[in-house]
Structure 1
């Protein structure tokens, strides 16, 4: 279903579901839950009981993921993402005016935080060089050594 402003509700729900599952495994879960509570409360037909029910479903998913064995998390994450897609899709069907706010939250949550990312501390590194890359690095058969004469 596409809204008047061009948002496909199921695409918004899918993006938000993926972000929620990712946040469930991180310290950012509390802020994600608070954001979802605000979004659920702003839903046009949202009464307190329905908001609490939506939050209970999120809390249950969070608990299931964090209580699962590490070896099961990848598969469970995929299942939870599908369950949350259904939950958020149903919520947006009833409250389509919440789609822009949910999309904005998901888009912002996908952005890397200023403090997140790779941090490297290199000490006592005489006679070698350090390569830091944000993605995969392939050198093939090439061996890179320290430039001659520099130490």
Structure 2
């Protein structure tokens, strides 16, 4: 059973990692990694294409959703991918360690990214931290093009 890993736990972690990657610019590299895992299992091209087709459809659904529905869509996609990846691992338990590596790499990339801010001496002031465009009242700030 894939180095003693719990298959459904690996599938759940991979589903969460893939949904998170779908919303990032790094999606293509995650997709390529999962494609390699699917292909290494000796699956025929039709099966690999079907698995990737499901992932691509999930990617489109997430990215075509509105901001207000994105969290719900992500939750549904995570459940769907859990089923898909769980079924894949049931047929290919030796792929569990590779899939777990994909999850671990995704988590490592997430730890060093993002914005860190320390705010000191802000008595009687407001602090606004945003990773994208912001507007409030007569204040407006657009993120530089390369940072969106």
TMscore range, shorter length: 0.7 to 0.9
With the length of structure 2 as denominator, give the TM-score of the two structures.
Answer: 0.75
The structure with more radius of gyration: 1
SS at match of 1:111: helix
Aligned to 1:31: 29
Q: What are the superposed Cα offsets for residues 121-150 of structure 1, whole Å, 9 maximum, x if unpaired?
A: x9xx9xx47xxxxxxxxxxxxxxxxxxxxx
Question: Which residues of structure 1 form unaligned runs of 5+?
Answer: 130-151
From 87, 90, 93, the equivalent of 2:87 is 90
Give the drift of 1:118. 2.1
Higher strand share: 2
- 1:14-34 Cα offsets, whole Å, 9 max, x none, are 000000000001111111100
What is the root-mean-square deviation in Å for CA atoms of aligned residues? 2.1
Deviations 1:59-105 (A, max 9, x none): 00000000011100111100000000000001111111111000011
How many residues end up aligned between the 2 structures?
122
TM-score, length of structure 1 as denominator length: 0.74
Which runs of 5 or more residues in structure 2 are unaligned? 123-148
In structure 2, what is the Cα distance between the partners aligned to 1:115 and 1:4? Answer: 29
Which has more helix, going by share of residues?
2
2:115 to 111, 118, 140: 118
